Amino acid sequence: MIWFLKLELLTEVRDDVLEVRFRGLFVRRVIPLAEIRHFEAKTYHPIRDYGGWGARRGAASLADNVSGTRGVELRLAGGKSRLSQRPEELVLALQTRTTMK
């Protein structure tokens, strides 16, 4: 139980990649910024849309979430979609490093 409570979602936007990882799990995703076609902050329903929290697969996309109902939807090259959390910070970081708004 303590291990579960210590899980933490870390999201970093670097010069050319978005890295999402769970501290406490061996889950790490690296998305090149060049693959992101569109992004937007949105409200979602974790249980209905993804079956809960964590590294989850929904009907149309993948999600990395730990709490709440707000996130950033990323539409990637090839039509794939991802959802990650910390919408205000993540949108701002992506806006400063990409040409998309």
pLDDT tens for each residue of 29-83: 899 999 999 999 999 988 888 888 877 877 778 888 888 889 899 999 988 888 8
Is-contact 53 67, C-beta < 8 A?
yes
Token pair of 21, please?
Answer: 């990882």
Q: How many domains does the chain have?
A: 1
Domain containing residue 72:
2-97
CA distance 13 to 2: 29
Backbone angles phi, psi at 4, to 5 degrees: -60, -40
Task: Say what the pTM is.
Answer: 0.78
Burial 79-95 (b: 16+ CB within 10 A, else e): eeebbbbbbeebeebbe
Please state the φ and ψ torsions of residue 47, each to the nearest 5 degrees.
Answer: -70, -50
Q: What is the pLDDT of residue 37?
A: 92
* Sequence-distant (≥ 6) Cβ neighbours of residue 96 within 8 angstroms: none
